Structure 1
Amino acid sequence: MPSKTEKLLSLLNGQPVIPVLKINDPAHAAPLAYALARGGLPVIEITLRTPGALEAIRRVIAEVEEAIVGAGTILNAAQFEEAASAGAKFIVSPGLTKELLTAADASPVPLLPGAITPGEIMTAREAGLDFLKFFPAEQAGGAAFLKALASPIADVKFCPTGGVSSGNAMDYLSLPNVVCVGGSWVAPDAMVREGRWDEIEALARQASELVERI
């Protein structure tokens, strides 16, 4: 049986950008996910930052067959269980706590927890988690910081999120310890609000092609 890290890597590896989405209106969820998938980004993270986030996850799962939906901004075990019950295929957290680790240990749904300091990264590694979210990436030292970690903690891989954009994504993706990046630039709030799905598809296609430049 593959480990949870292997399960996560099988979901996220090969897609250079994971859209990080804050969906205010669940009615936008399915057409947004469909536009992103058409543009080559079927794996998405819907953050639990809005009241309708769980409903958004359920709608995408029900209506967009090609989408692979994860839940983000998970802060505690209750949210972990709610997101998993809604059908999330992976869980993303800004950090790692004992409560979250216990919830993850009891669930088949893999956890991608955030870590930024060497101590946090080593703690996650000791818990068997060697694929981590590096958040907030730009504020924590950016690509230069991650590059410095590549040698002393060579077996840990990262998905940087926070301040990552089309302008700096390649700085991260070119590093040996980065699998993918998370970003919201592929689905700007105004485009989602106005239903400009073709433009979002075009942004997704540009992001999906970043892997060809590595």
Structure 2
Amino acid sequence: MQPHINLPAPYMPHAGLIAAFEVCPLIAIMRGVTPADAADHGQALYEAGFRIVEVPLNSPQPFDSIAAIRKVLPADAIVGAGTVLHPLFVNDVKSAGGELIVMPHSDPEVVIAAKAQGLACAPGVATPTEAFIALKNGADVLKMFPAEQLGCQVVKAWRAVIAAQVPLVPVGGITPDNMGPFLSAGANGFGLGSALYKPGQSAAVTASHAKAFINGLRIARAGAKK
């Protein structure tokens, strides 16, 4: 049997992350959420259909928020940290109950540390070189960041050389109305920031935005199949 020529190493993604991603390939980025509000927003997202939530580490007391969300969500949800810039934070995320490390960059030390702890990892990549190195180090999904700069044509070009089983996840500037062209180009899911959640908004607003994204994904998928 010939190896996959577009995979630099055996691709064995985190089963829990992939299962959650298959249910809903939208990653909620809760930048700025506080521990007092985290659980309510996490529940609102889950009830709307989301299954993956990240709390960026430049939020107030992020590990407490991760723990609060993990405590209230069912086991089929994946909770983790974003903006993880140093491998030392991986242990803190795991201790808080996190299962996912999301990064704006592709520092091999962070990816390797995450995988060594049994956590899923979504490094940020902006070039094919970064993408293949991240996969070699054990990345589960590729966070294409910033999506506004890369655009759909880059997604299409990457999809031609990156194995189909590796999820491509554009992040940055994604709204309920602009997912269709990315899906048509070969993207598999999206990371959602300020269009989904802004610090200080109510859980009801988060629920409304989440439902709009779920509906937008449904429409985008229907359009991409035509």
State the AA in 1 paired with 2:146.
P
Could you say what secondary structure the match of 1:4 adopts?
coil
Match of 2:196 among 186, 189, 202: 186
The answer to which structure, 1 or 2, has the higher relative contact order (CA under 8 A, 6+ apart) is: 1
Partner of 2:216: 210
Give the superposition deviation at 1:128.
Answer: 4.1
State the AA in 2 paired with 1:44.
V
Quote the Cα distance in structure 1 between the aligned partners of 2:25 and 2:13: 20
State the AA in 2 paired with 1:200.
T
Point out where structure 2 has 5 or more consecutive residues left out of the alignment. Answer: 1-10, 222-226
Distance 1:187 1:11, change over 3 A: same
Q: Given that residues 125 and 145 in structure 2 are in contact (C-alpha distance below 8 angstroms), is that contact kept between their aligned partners in structure 1?
A: yes
Distance 1:127 1:121, change over 3 A: same
Q: Aligned pair count?
A: 207
Q: Given that residues 44 and 206 in structure 2 are in contact (C-alpha distance below 8 angstroms), is that contact kept between their aligned partners in structure 1?
A: yes
State the AA in 1 paired with 2:112.
T
State the AA in 2 paired with 1:125.
L
Partner of 1:40: 49
Q: Tell me the C-alpha RMSD between the 2 structures.
A: 2.2
Match of 1:160 among 140, 165, 170: 170
Distance 1:6 1:24, change over 3 A: closer
Could you say what secondary structure the match of 1:13 adopts?
helix
Quote the Cα distance in structure 2 between the aligned partners of 1:187 and 1:105: 28
CA offsets per residue over residues 91-112 of structure 1, 9 Å max, x none?
Answer: 1111222321331242111111
Point out where structure 1 has 5 or more consecutive residues left out of the alignment. Answer: none
CA offsets per residue over residues 175-201 of structure 1, 9 Å max, x none?
Answer: 33x221011212233xxx252x22321
State the AA in 2 paired with 1:142.
G
Identity over aligned residues, as a percent? 29
Q: Given that residues 137 and 163 in structure 1 are in contact (C-alpha distance below 8 angstroms), is that contact kept between their aligned partners in structure 2?
A: yes
Quote the Cα distance in structure 1 between the aligned partners of 2:92 and 2:100: 12
Quote the Cα distance in structure 2 between the aligned partners of 1:56 and 1:130: 24
Could you say what secondary structure the match of 2:60 adopts?
coil
Quote the Cα distance in structure 1 between the aligned partners of 2:132 and 2:74: 37
Match of 2:180 among 140, 145, 170: 170
Q: TM-score, normalised by structure 2?
A: 0.82
